[in-house]
Amino acid sequence: MQAGVLERAAGHFRTPSLWALLPLCAVYGLAVITAPEDAVQGVIQKILYVHPACAFAAYLGFGLTALGGALYLWREDEQYDRLALASAEVGVVFCTLVILTGPIWARGTWGRFWSWDPRLTVTLLLWFIYLAYLLLRGFTEGSARAARFAAVYGIAGVLAIPLNYFAIDLFGGRAIHPENLGRGSLGAGMGLPFALGLVTALLAFFHLLARRLELEGLRARNAFAEAETQHEPARAEGPWPT
Partner 1 sequence: MNVLLAVLWKDLISEWRTRDRIVSMLLFSVLVVVVFHFALPEDASQLLKTGAAGLLWIAYVFASVLGLNRAFALELENEALSGLALAPADRGWIFLGKSLANTLLLFLVQAVTAFVFALTFNVSLTAVVPQFAVVMALGALGLSSIGTLFAAVAVRTRYREVMLPLLLLPVMIPVLLGAVRASAALLERGTLPAPALRLLIVADLTFLIVSFVLFEYVLDE
Partner 2 sequence: MAYVIAAYGLVVTFLTLYAWLLERERRRLTSGRSQSQ
Residues that bind partner 2 (CB under 8 A): 32, 43-44, 46-47, 50-51, 54, 90, 93, 96-97, 100-101, 104-105, 107-108, 204, 207-208, 211-212, 214-215, 218-219, 222, 225, 229
Residue 171 binding partner per list partner 2, partner 1, none, with a CB distance cut-off of 5 to 8 Å that depends on partner kind:
partner 1
Residue length of the chain: 242
- Quick check: 19 binds partner 1 (CB under 8 A)? no
Residue 107 binding partner per list partner 1, partner 2, none, with a CB distance cut-off of 5 to 8 Å that depends on partner kind:
partner 2
Could you tell me which residues come within 8 angstroms of residue 153 by beta carbon, excluding any fewer than 6 positions away?
Answer: 69, 132, 133, 136
Q: How far is the CB of 43 from partner 2 (least distance, A)?
A: 5
Q: How far is the CB of 29 from partner 2 (least distance, A)?
A: 8
Ramachandran class of 116: left when φ > 0, alpha when ψ lies in -120 to 50, beta otherwise: left
Q: How far is the CB of 174 from partner 1 (least distance, A)?
A: 15
Tell which one of 39, 139, 182, 232 touches partner 1 (CB under 8 A). 139
Give the gyration radius of the chain's Cα atoms. Answer: 20
Residue 26 binding partner per list partner 2, partner 1, none, with a CB distance cut-off of 5 to 8 Å that depends on partner kind:
none
Burial 6-42 (b: 16+ CB within 10 A, else e): bbeebbebbeebeeebeebeeebeebbeebeebeebe
Report helix, strand or coil for 149: helix
Residue 97 binding partner per list partner 2, partner 1, none, with a CB distance cut-off of 5 to 8 Å that depends on partner kind:
partner 2
Long-range contacts of 48-52 (CB under 8 A, 24+ apart): 48/105, 48/178, 48/190, 48/194, 49/193, 49/194, 49/196, 49/197, 50/101, 50/197, 50/201, 51/98, 51/101, 51/102, 51/105, 52/181, 52/194, 52/197, 52/198
Which is nearer to partner 1, 58 or 198 (by Cβ)?
58
Which is nearer to partner 2, 64 or 151 (by Cβ)?
64
Are residues 59 and 204 in contact, defined by beta-carbon separation less than 8 angstroms?
A: no
- Quick check: 167 binds partner 1 (CB under 8 A)? yes
Which is nearer to partner 1, 46 or 137 (by Cβ)?
137
**Distance (Å, rounded) from C-alpha 208 to C-alpha 228?**
30
Applying the rule CB under 8 A, the residues between 95 and 134 that interact with partner 1 are 125, 128-129, 131-132
Which is nearer to partner 1, 44 or 131 (by Cβ)?
131
Q: How far is the CB of 215 from partner 2 (least distance, A)?
A: 5
Applying the rule CB under 8 A, the residues between 65 and 94 that interact with partner 1 are 73
